[in-house]
Amino acid sequence: MKMKLLVLAMAALIAWGLKRHYADARADDLGWILSPTARLVGVMTRTTFALQPGEGYFSRDRLFLIEKSCAGVNFMIAAFGMLMLALVHRVGSGVSAARVLGASLVASYSAAVLVNAVRIAMAMWLAAHPVALSTFSAADVHRLEGITVYFGGLVLLYELAQRFDRSTVLLVGQKP
Amino acid sequence: MNHALWTSVARAFRRMALPLASYYAVTLALPLANGAAQSGDAFIKHALVVLIVPPVAIVLACAFHSIAYAFGSACSSTLAHQRARKTASRDVSNPAQC
């Protein structure tokens, strides 16, 4: 029990550190997440994004800027917290605690890059093909798209984590 | 149908509780803790949309799943019924020989 609480406290500290880093960072400091996201969006939309110092990643042919607020760090924090709460029951020793923390960090980072790239690619498509709905402005559509993709991404990640959790328990025969 | 739909909606909400809580924590609780409420109407509008869209998406997904499941069941029972009729008519025209 003590170990589980300690791990949850460490997870909270990591999440807080990420949030602080995100609040203080400029676009250039977020290259660790913006760069792979921009590359993945480039592959999805067949365009190239170039680094604009101080601004983010810019596509000249699509006139689209991936800036600091598009980094997906908040999604990563949500995914990390969710995975930690979902997998904390596997913590029993120092090694398993490190494994759960590491796996949650890697999974939340990968999910953030992937889900955010999908969201940005969809936003680029919506910007090029504006939806003709009189009740919703372009900003409303962008917001709805963001909420749906981010929440859907969290649900998918949770389902994947649950399946992985169940299959490893079945394989090993008991919780580690 | 209606009862089955609401049962699956309730089950989906129980299953999605953790993703929903994580999402609300990052999109609503953290900004509120950082004093976003002071920005007034803009945050209230944002918060309302953030609060409403995920549950609506869950209900819509359940409704879609229930309709697809009911359609699939209806199709498979019709196919099974047709197959049974075919077999029965074949049995009458070609009685088994011993």
- Give the gap in angstroms from C-alpha A97 to the nearest C-alpha of chain B: 20
Any idea how long chain B is?
A: 98
Domain ranges of chain B: 2-88
| Residue showing tokens 């372009």 | A138
pLDDT tens for A27-45 read: 889 999 999 999 999 999 9
C-alpha A122: how far from chain center: 16
Nearest to B54 among A19, A75, A151 (CB): A151
Q: Which two tokens stand for residue B49?
A: 């949309």
Confidence of residue A137 (pLDDT cuts 50, 70, 90): confident
DSSP string over A66-113: E-GGGS-HHHHHHHHHHHHHHHGGG--SHHHHHHHHHHHHHHHHHHHH
Which residues of chain B have a CB within 8 Å of the CB of A152? Answer: 57
User: What's this model's pTM, rounded to 2 decimal places?
Assistant: 0.83
Domain that holds residue A149: 2-172
Residue B55 to chain A, least CA–CA distance (Å): 10
Mutate to test the interface with B, among A154, A156, A162 (most CBs of B within 10 A): A154
**ipTM value for the complex:** 0.86
Question: How far off is chain A from B92, nearest CA to CA, in Å?
Answer: 50
Q: What is the pLDDT of residue B93?
A: 58
